[in-house]
A = this chain, B = another copy of it.
Amino acid sequence: MKKHNFSAGPAVLPRVAIENTAQAILELNGIGLSLIEISHRSKDFEAVLAETISLMRELLDLPNDYHVLFLGGGASTQFATIPMNFLKTKSAYLDTGVWANKAMKEAKGFGETICVASSKDKNYTYIPKGYVIPSDADYFHITTNNTIYGTEIRYDMDSPVSLIADMSSDFLSRPTDISKYDMVYGGAQKNIGPAGATFVLIKESFLSKIATETRHIPTMFNYKTHIENDSMFNTPPVMPIFTIKETLKWLKSIGGLKKMEAMNIEKAGILYNAIDSSSIFVGTAEAESRSLMNICFVLKPEYTEKENDFLDLCKAKGMSGLKGHRSVGGFRASTYNALPMESVLALVEAMKEFEKSL
């Protein structure tokens, strides 16, 4: 039976990326050795890393003064190293969910931290507007996609201070003007690869602001260390980087980010339409804040007790990962880049079938 993988992350990846990873683990480039048993300083792996960075630059049309890093430790490590490196007098955060909040909490450990706005009052179902970014902040931090609640900041905003974005769950889902940001980062395991690698894009001029005079920054936590060593200061996460390369190759092969965005708009549009035209389902995020990556919906109050029945029906049709996060309830369909249209159509079909059965 065809499986439909709506997992919020780690999540569906292009089949070709999965197959090529499995092949490289058996044998890389016909060298008689596995990807995972050769030196990270061998020419075969150096070529993998170079191609991954080159594809990233090409897909994003990345300005030359941005560095591309692949590190270990996850986005949660970045939550701490961002203020460690860049908080001198004051930081500013937009609180759009649990992960944005976790990032903000880490900043508080290093100095004054302003929450410019929060949507916690309505369980993070919208992206706040009309807030003021303090012009004396060292940086302003946003979380562009909020996996748990299905909200997304789908444009590249202007900021009077250095803009830093956690793009863990919508990176490379649309053309992005990276020049608006001094730093973009995220865990790979939503849209671009498997768990275990963290991407960091950082502007050269931002490095001069690293707070080495304010506090001691351990070598591994100073961004300059990794830039000066091309992500090879220590052994990088070899396997995840290979899969990212294969995922980026796939992204290029389907037509790049503009095409990817059009496909994502189409997929999400079909699902949101199905929710909005249903008499039993209702979306949880405010319409103008809706994410193209995570689509959250619940049964109307009179049908809530049927939640497990719908999940059972979906499971019987080969769908997985549809249970909503406990803080929202209901259902969450994650429609990342690699989720095929046929999975969206299968879900819409199941929703209609379920509605008729009631």
Chain A residues packing against B (C-beta within 8 Å): 1, 3, 5, 7-13, 18-19, 21-23, 25-26, 31-34, 36-40, 42, 71-77, 79-80, 84, 102, 105-106, 109-110, 187, 189, 194-198, 216, 218-221, 233-240, 243, 318, 320-321
A243 interface neighbour in B9, B32, B36, B194, Cβ under 8 Å? B36
Given A22-B22, A238-B10, A239-B195: A32 in contact with B318 (beta carbons within 8 A): yes
* Interface pair B10/A37, CB less than 8 Å apart: yes
Expressed in whole angstroms, the Cα–Cα distance for A8 and B37 within the complex equals: 10
Report the 5 A-B pairs with minimum CB-CB distance, sorted nearest first: A80-B218, A196-B237, A36-B194, A73-B73, A72-B72
Q: Can you name 29 A-B residue pairings with CB atoms under 8 Å?
A: A1-B32, A3-B33, A7-B39, A7-B42, A9-B235, A10-B37, A10-B40, A10-B238, A13-B36, A18-B37, A22-B22, A25-B25, A72-B72, A72-B77, A72-B198, A73-B73, A73-B220, A74-B220, A74-B234, A76-B220, A76-B234, A79-B219, A80-B218, A80-B219, A195-B239, A196-B196, A196-B238, A237-B240, A239-B239
Expressed in whole angstroms, the Cα–Cα distance for A297 and B39 within the complex equals: 20
Instruction: Determine how close the nearest CB of chain B comes to the CB of A143; give it in whole angstroms.
Output: 14
Residues of the B chain whose Cβ atoms lie less than 8 Å from the Cβ of A102: 219
Expressed in whole angstroms, the Cα–Cα distance for A180 and B235 within the complex equals: 28
Given A26-B18, A234-B76: A239 in contact with B196 (beta carbons within 8 A): yes
A220 interface neighbour in B77, B194, B216, B218, Cβ under 8 Å? B77
A237 interface neighbour in B32, B37, B195, Cβ under 8 Å? B195
Given A235-B195, A240-B239: A74 in contact with B77 (beta carbons within 8 A): no
Instruction: Determine how close the nearest CB of chain B comes to the CB of A149; give it in whole angstroms.
Output: 17
Residues of the B chain whose Cβ atoms lie less than 8 Å from the Cβ of A5: 33, 37-38
**Which B residue sits closest to A32, measured CB to CB?**
B3
In addition to A73-B220, A195-B235, 19 A-B residue pairs with Cβ atoms within 8 Å of each other are A3-B32, A8-B39, A18-B25, A18-B26, A18-B36, A22-B22, A22-B23, A33-B320, A36-B194, A37-B194, A72-B73, A73-B73, A74-B235, A75-B234, A76-B220, A79-B219, A80-B219, A109-B218, A189-B238
* Interface pair A238/B195, CB less than 8 Å apart: yes
Residues of the B chain whose Cβ atoms lie less than 8 Å from the Cβ of A33: 3, 5, 320
Given A22-B25, A25-B25: A37 in contact with B216 (beta carbons within 8 A): no
A110 interface neighbour in B19, B105, B216, Cβ under 8 Å? B216
A34 interface neighbour in B13, B75, B197, Cβ under 8 Å? B13
* Interface pair B236/A195, CB less than 8 Å apart: yes
A76 interface neighbour in B80, B219, B237, Cβ under 8 Å? B219
Residues of the B chain whose Cβ atoms lie less than 8 Å from the Cβ of A76: 219-220, 233-234
Instruction: Determine how close the nearest CB of chain B comes to the CB of A58; give it in whole angstroms.
Output: 24
* Interface pair A194/B239, CB less than 8 Å apart: yes
* Interface pair A40/B195, CB less than 8 Å apart: yes
**Which B residue sits closest to A19, measured CB to CB?**
B26
Instruction: Determine how close the nearest CB of chain B comes to the CB of A89; give it in whole angstroms.
Output: 17
* Interface pair A105/B72, CB less than 8 Å apart: no
Which of A42, A77, A321: most chain B CB closer than 10 A?
Answer: A77
